[in-house]
Every structure is written in structure tokens, then in C-alpha cells.
Amino acid sequence: MKIEWSISEKELLQQIGNCAAQVGVQAYVVGGFVRDKLLQGKSKDMDIMCLGSGIQLAETVKATCFPHAFLTVYKNFGTALLKTSDFEIEFVGARKESYRTDSRKPIVEEGTLKDDLSRRDFTINALAVAINPNQFGEFIDLFNGVSDLENKIIRTPLEPSTTFSDDPLRMLRAVRFATRLHFKIDPETFEAIRKNAHRIAIISQERITDELNKIIATVQPSKGFKWLDESGLLQLIFPEFVKLKGAEYIDGRGHKDNFYHTLQVLDNICTSTNDLWLRWAAILHDIAKPATKRYDPAIGWTFHGHEVVGARMVNQLFKRLKLPLDEKLRFVQKMVFLHLRPISLTKDNITDSAIRRLLFEAGEHVEDLMLLCEADITSKNRQKVIRYLENFELVKSRMKAVEEKDHLRNWQPPVSGELIMSTFGIPPSKVVGLIKDEIREQILDGKIGNTPEEAIALMHQLGQLHGLNPVLKNH
Ligand code: ATP
Ligand code: MG
């Protein structure tokens, strides 16, 4: 096996190899960089492993080749990270790890090349290429990683059950790599994930969520979620999602399986956005359907209020999954809360005022909401899909027309509470809010135009109704 390095890669590896020879260690480029290179992919992250001190090699490389690069040394881990303008290079000494069952922290000792490669997670990540001058380019494949790459298989180098029990995060990594690379998980490896799924309990939430986000960031995340589900991992890390599964029937009437529907919505939205948070909104848009499900003999299955309950659940879920509790949370909540609105506008009620309200509530996120709404159209019934899409297009074009006319994007009502207070000389009070809300409502309803003049005139009228008189100002 021979790898075609680019000129800059080859030059860099040769420089590092020369430094390795200078300090008297054997060095290899390993892991993801070699894998991605063979898959014709590009990677800016490079892992260098040497038989000796990774930190010493890193310090030599910095001093000799990159005096201005940034070097961070992690003494406790025996690793060092060198950031050059083109690459992030991690240096580590070859190691051997032994695990105890009650901890995910291994006992780490110096190891041989074979020790180091066999403690790696998958055969495709256990490839190495020597970079010292006397053996530059020599390819090391102790576990048939190249054949697994060719056959698109995720497999552990050692006995899979031990590999996963030692570090259960590897189970999520298996799903992540299989999803991202469009690979299959070897049946024996998959069986071991199923068997060891419960061990995920010893992994921190942050690391679990990090892997989950990486699965969500792939082109077709539904594949990953199906593996997580089949292996039992999903039930352990995200039980609310598994609850969406299944269709219940009463009097021969069923509802759609919301688990597969949600996965379809997720895959759909991935064709139109890379935004992780909009993808999360797709995952969570129907999350409260199980909690709000009712059967009404007159109309069948209903999920009334699932968007309201769902928005509340998003908050709890973000806390538990240790997702950010900032504007990203509020964005996902808003999307879940509004996801029914565009499509619930039927031909008869697409009034300017309904459109204005939607534009006002969605604000700067109206395009994202429309993407979510479009992705949500997944019926098996062709006619229904066509009807929904037609309606959806109509809502979209009406939105455009109203937006052009009224400029409601990022709109703030033209009369502020401060203006009301200073006009009538009153302190903050309930009546200020009442007047402000009424002005906003009348603009959204189209009863008055969206101009400061009309809004101020209305403010004076409303003030009078509440027995308020404008204070005279001295100019
Ligand atoms: P990417 O960076 O694209 O996600 P990668 O394969 O480079 O993929 P890293 O997490 O950067 O993944 O790890 C680098 C290498 O370290 C891997 O290729 C693998 O050989 C090894 N490795 C990382 N995490 C583990 C783990 N939990 N168990 C065993 N080996 C691991
Ligand atoms: Mg990497």
C-alpha cells in the first residue's frame, strides 16, 4: 500500500521524521489522518505516535521547524498539540492501556507499536505509516484495516466485547464512523455493542452528547439513529426519542409511527441545512406527541398542544443532555413551538394578518421555520403530500408579498413603553403594557398601518380612553 501525500503533507511528515531521527525515536503518522487519506478525504488533524516521548518529539519539531507555532503540552496525558498554520498535530508516545471494570480511566504504560495499534478503536483507525528517513512511507496494517476500508466495515482490532467494555464511548464512535463514512458495522462488533450498551453509563454526558452531535452532523443521520436504536444505546441515552416509536390502532384507525417520521424529517432537513440546531429542532419537533396523544372516536388520534409541551420538553432535554442553555436552546424551542403554524394556514385563513403574526413571531428565524415545515411533509399518501406542498408554496409567496409591503422582519412595534410613559408622564405600570400591546395588535391585524405616525396617533387615542393626558413639554 502506498499513499499519495500532497507536497505539503510529505514535506511536513519528512520534517517530523527527521526530528524523530534526531531524538532517536521511531515515529509514525496514525489514525484518522491515514484513514481519511486512503478514503481520498482531507484532514487537518494529524496524529503522530512515536516509540518514546511524544512531548519531547513535539518540542523538537517546534524548535527545529515551527518556532512560531503554538505548542500545548498535556503532561498528565503525555501528549502535546502543535498548531501550525495548516495543521493541528497531536504527538503521543506509544502506549499500552489496561482497564478496570469500574472505571473508564485506564492504567497507561509505555508500549510497543503493536500495543499502541491494538488499543485503538477500529481496524480502519489502527493504520500507521512510518516517517523516519530510513523507512519513510512504510505502511503498517496489523489488523487488516485496509481490507476493512475497502469493504466498508467497522470492526475492532481486538475482541470487540473487551474493546467496548474497556471504553464504552467506542460504541458511539462505531456508530458515528459507520454513519459518516457510509460503512457497515461488522455483525460480531455490533453484537458486542448490544451486549455492552449498558456500560455507556460510565461515560460523561458531555462526551456522549459530543458523539451524538457528530452523528447528527452527517449527511444521513437516520442511519446512525437506527443503529443506536437497534443496539439499545438510544434507549439509554435518549429514551424520549424511543418513546416516539410505534403506531397504535383503535377501531382500525392508526397514527403514523413518529419515530420513523422524525428520522425522515431529520434526513430531509439535512439536505437543506448544515445547522446543527435546526437539525436538533427536526429531531425534537414532535417529541411531545407521546405525552399528548389522545383518541377521540369522532376525529381519531390527536396530539393537541404537542408543540407547547414539546417546547417545554426541549428545555429539560437540553439540560440533561448538557446542550447549550443559551440562544441555541431558545431557537430550538421557538422552532418546536411554531412548527405547525405555516402549514396550519389553510387557503381560507391565509389572511394578511395571519401572515403578519407568523412573520412577527418567527422574526429573524422565519426561513429556518419554513425549512423545518417543508421537511415535516412526509406522508405516504402522494396526494396529501402534493396538497400540503401546494399550500406551503402559497403560504411562502404570501409571506413574501406581506413582507415586501409591511417590512415586518425583525420588527419592533414603533411605540415603546418609554415613549408612552414620557408622553403621559406616568411611571411603569400596567396601563403602559396595555397600550403597547394594543398598538402592536392593531398593526398586526392591519387595522392601522405600520408607521410611527399612525402608531403615535393611536397611542393618544388609547391614552384618552384610559383617562391619561399628554404632559406639555417645554422646548
Ligand atoms: P475524526 O478526528 O475525524 O473524528 P479520528 O479517527 O481522527 O476521527 P480522533 O478522535 O481524532 O478520531 O482520534 C484519533 C485516533 O485516536 C483515532 O483514529 C483512533 O486511532 C484513536 N482513538 C481515538 N479515540 C479512541 C478511543 N476512544 N478508543 C480507542 N482509540 C481511539
Ligand atoms: Mg482526529
For ligand 1, say whether the CB of 39 is within 6 Å of any of its atoms. no
> Does residue 197 belong to any structural domain of this protein?
yes
In a domain, 87, yes or no: yes
HEC profile for the chain? CCCCCCHHHHHHHHHHHHHHHHHCCCEEEECHHHHHHHCCCCCCEEEEEECCCHHHHHHHHHHHHCCCCEEEEEHHHCEEEEECCCCEEEEEECEEEECCCCCCCCEEEECCHHHHHHCCCCHHHCCEEECCHHHCCCEECCCCHHHHHHCCEECCCCCHHHHHHHCCHHHHHHHHHHHHHCCEECHHHHHHHHHHHHHHHHCCHHHHHHHHHHHHCCCCHHHHHHHHHHHCHHHHHCHHHHCCCCCCEECCEECCCHHHHHHHHHHHHHCCCCCHHHHHHHHHCCCCHHHHCEEECCCEEECCCHHHHHHHHHHHHHHHCCCCCCHHHHHHHHHHHHCCHHHHCCHHHCCHHHHHHHHHHHHHHHHHHHHHHHHCCCCCCHHHHHHHHHHHHHHHHHHHHHHHHHCCCCCCCCCCHHHHHHHHCCCCCHHHHHHHHHHHHHHHCCCCCCCHHHHHHHHHHHHHHCCCCCCCCCC
pLDDT values of the chain reduced to their tens digit, one per residue, 475 residues: 778 899 999 999 999 999 999 999 999 999 999 999 999 878 899 999 999 999 999 999 999 999 999 999 999 889 999 999 999 999 999 999 888 766 667 888 899 999 999 999 999 999 999 999 999 999 999 999 999 999 999 999 999 999 999 999 999 999 999 999 999 999 999 999 999 999 999 999 999 999 999 999 999 999 999 999 999 999 999 999 999 998 888 888 888 899 999 999 999 999 999 999 999 999 999 999 999 999 999 889 999 999 999 999 999 999 999 999 999 999 999 999 999 999 888 777 788 888 999 999 999 999 999 999 999 998 888 888 888 888 889 899 999 998 888 777 777 888 999 999 999 999 999 999 999 999 999 998 889 988 899 999 999 999 999 999 999 765 5
Note whether 212 and 226 are same-domain residues: yes
Question: Which of 234, 269, 300 lies at the terminal end of a domain, its last residue?
Answer: 234
The separation between CA 183 and the C-alpha centre of its own chain, rounded to angstroms, equals: 21
* Cα-to-centroid distance, 31 and ligand 1 (Å): 6
- Indicate if 355 and 250 belong to the same structural domain: yes
For residues 291 and 339, membership in a common domain is answered with: yes
Ligand 1 centroid–CA 97 distance in Å is 15
pLDDT tens-digit series, residues 4-48? 899 999 999 999 999 999 999 999 999 999 999 999 878 899 999
Burial of 450 (0-12, 13-18, 19+ CB in 10 A): middle
| Same domain flag for 127 and 273 | no
- pTM, entire model: 0.90
The residues facing 128 across adjacent strands are 30, 140
83: CA distance to ligand 2 center in Å? Answer: 14
Please tell me the predicted confidence (pLDDT) of residue 381. Answer: 84
Check whether residue 89 and residue 134 sit in a common domain: yes
- Cβ–ligand 1 distance for 125 under 6 Å, the answer yes
The pLDDT, as a whole number, for residue 474 is: 57
Atom 4 of ligand 1: nearest residue by CA position: 32
The per-residue pLDDT for 174 is 98
Ligand 2 centroid to residue 205 C-alpha, Å: 20
- pLDDT for res 130: 97
Let me know if residue 475 belongs to a domain.
Answer: no
pLDDT at position 353 is 87
Task: Give CA–CA dist 420/435, Å, rounded.
Answer: 8
Please choose from 38, 39, 47, 214 the residue to mutate so as to test ligand 1's pocket, defined by most ligand atoms within 8 A of CB. 47
Give 266 Cα–ligand 2 centroid separation in angstroms. Answer: 26
Q: Does 167 sit in the ligand 1 pocket, CB within 6 Å?
A: yes
88 within some domain: yes
List, in order, residues 6 or more apart from 152 with CB less than 8 Å away: 181, 182, 183, 184
Query: At 119, which CATH number?
Result: 3.30.460.10
Q: Kindly give the distance from the C-alpha atom of residue 340 to the centroid of ligand 1, in angstroms, as a whole number.
A: 41
Residue whose C-alpha cell is 467506542: 170
Ligand with the closest atom to the CA of 41: 1
Using left for φ > 0, alpha for ψ between -120 and 50, and beta otherwise, residue 24 falls in: left
Query: Is 276 found in the same domain as 379?
Result: yes
Give the CATH number for residue 171.
1.10.110.30
Are residues 363 and 410 in contact, defined by beta-carbon separation less than 8 angstroms? yes
Q: How many domains does the chain have?
A: 4
Which pLDDT does position 104 carry in this prediction?
66
Distance (Å, rounded) from C-alpha 387 to C-alpha 394? 11
Compute the distance between CA of residue 245 and CA of residue 225 in angstroms, rounded to an integer: 12
Same domain, 224 and 159: yes
Distance CA 313, CA 136 (A): 55
Q: Are strands 153-154 and 184-185 parallel, antiparallel or unpaired?
A: parallel
Last residue of a domain, one of 151, 184, 215: 151
Q: Are residues 227 and 353 in the same domain?
A: no
The full length of the chain comes to 475
Indicate whether 182 and 313 sit together in one domain: no
Q: Tell me, using a 6 A CB cutoff, whether residue 169 lines ligand 1.
A: yes
Closest ligand, as measured to the CA of 31: 1
Ligand 1 nearest atom to the CA of residue 214, by list position: 4
Q: Is residue 120 in contact with ligand 1, taking CB distance under 6 Å?
A: yes
Q: With 0-12 CB in 10 A as exposed, 13-18 as middle and 19+ as buried, what is 201?
A: exposed
By the 8 A CB rule, do 71 and 59 touch? yes
Residue 31: CB within 6 Å of ligand 1? yes
- The phi and psi torsions of 378 (rounded to 5 degrees) equal -130, 20
Residue 2 lies in a domain: no
322 and 374 co-located in one domain:
yes
Tell me what pLDDT residue 371 has.
96
Please check whether residues 147 and 157 belong to one and the same domain: no
Point out which residues pair with 29 in neighbouring strands.
Answer: 48, 129
C-alpha torsion angle, residues 37, 41, 42, 43 (rounded to 10): -70
User: Interior CA angle at 205 toward 204 and 211, to 5°?
Assistant: 100
Sign, CA torsion 22/24/25/27 = positive
Q: CA of 58: how far to CAs of 95, 241, 283, in Å?
A: 16, 44, 42
Please give the Cα distance from 456 to 216 (Å, whole number): 49
- Give me the domain span that covers residue 427: 417-465
The pLDDT value recorded for residue 103 is 67
| pLDDT value at residue 349 | 78
Residues in CB range of 346: below 8 A, 6 or more apart: 391
Are 107 and 98 in contact, with CB atoms under 8 Å apart?
A: yes
* 58 within domain boundaries: yes
146 lies in the same domain as 157? no
The residue type of 350 is I
pLDDT score recorded for residue 473: 67
Atom of ligand 1 nearest to the CA of 43: 3
Closest Cα to atom 24, ligand 1: which residue? 121
Residue 116 near ligand 1, beta carbon < 6 Å: no
Ligand 1 centroid distance, CA of 251 (Å): 52
